[in-house]
Amino acid sequence: MAIDELESLVNRELDLVFRTIQSYFANFSISPPFKEVIWKSLSRLSPRPQSFSNSNLTLLFPRLSYQACGGSDHFPPEISAAWYLFYLAADLMDSVQDFDQRVDLANTPYSFSEWLNLASSYFFIANALLTALLDQDYDKRRVASVLKSFQERLLEMCEGQQQDLSTQEFSLSSYLEMLRKKSGAFFSLACYAGARMATDDLGCVKNLANFGSHVGSILQILDDLEDWHRLQAGESPLSRSLNWYKNLPTVYTLEVLPDDQKLAFRRVIDNLAERPEEWQSYVAWVNQTGAALYIMTMLTQEAELARKHLHNNRLQPIAQATLICVLNRLVGEN
């Protein structure tokens, strides 16, 4: 499937997500000014048609998973809308906690504290969308499973975030485990929720959930690479409060270096914040250990494992092929 076709699917889904949120919003007993603040903040965070990126493709996961598991034409848009709101809220909180510039929070009418409050509002709206499904003409057991899964996976994501925030230095295995909890759980949820609404075939549902989990790990690795994009583009390591111990190339390098060299490498990382010229030295260390090959191997591994979970002849072929197409675009194998 061509990228413009995928882009058009994403835009349609996004439009439906906004219409769904708006229709629920009309009935919420909150003041019109606060509704307006929430609405404006949502619009500010949402992707613009002219700035389409591959990460937007993940918005298709709930619907495609539903279709892959044989769902009818009546996909509940509340699932995509709720997941999208959780996505925005989690991204916002992550950005605020990391003082990240991924979401340009500084140049907005809201303070960081206000953004945290808005993120909490998104969580509650998402929860309202999901619980409303219980009053509609959907299988109650499936809706209950989806609700439970949202709670459990989001808590798992919070656990991963807690590990990320509280750990100074990760071993390679604990870092990968943290990525799985932080991001794997979240994208697994997107696929599980759509698939579970379509079927009671828990084997198929599990396949989709596992697919999402591996995609989540891929996205987290790409997030780490994004830090490199910015530095290559000329952003000084000084200008960001990046913790270079929490980046896959660093974690890998610290894992494989002989003990006598680890100390020297740590010294370089510790100096990065105050001496930007150390950046070249840092780059030389990670290149010398083969971090690039390791990252490419990990991306290959996660993508292959994700594909493996879609090799199920009970899945609907068009949705299955579209999910693979999205995966291929994410890992640059299209």
Question: Where on the chain is the footprint of another protein (CB under 8 A)?
Answer: 53-55, 102, 172, 222-223, 225-226, 228-229, 232, 249, 252, 255-257, 283, 286-301, 304, 330, 332
Residues 145, 135: Cα–Cα separation, whole Å: 15
The least distance separating another protein from the CB of residue 96, rounded to whole angstroms, comes to 17
**Shortest distance (Å) from residue 70 CB to another protein:** 29
Lookup: tokens for 197: 């609404």
Q: Least distance in Å: CB of 73 to another protein? A: 32
In angstroms, give the least distance from the CB of 282 to another protein: 10
214 with 309: CB under 8 angstroms? Answer: yes
Cβ distance to another protein smaller for residue 53 or 113: 53
Give least dist CB 92 to another protein, A. Answer: 14
Q: Is the dihedral of CA 210, 313, 64, 334 positive or negative?
A: positive
- What does the buried/exposed string (b/e) look like for 93-105 if buried means 16 or more CB atoms within 10 Å of the residue's CB? bbbbebebeebeb
DSSP 161-227: HHHHHH-SS--HHHHHHHHIIIIIHHHHHHHHHHHHHH-S-HHHHHHHHHHHHHHHHHHHHHHHHHH
The amino acid at 188 = S
CB closer to another protein, 71 vs 249:
249
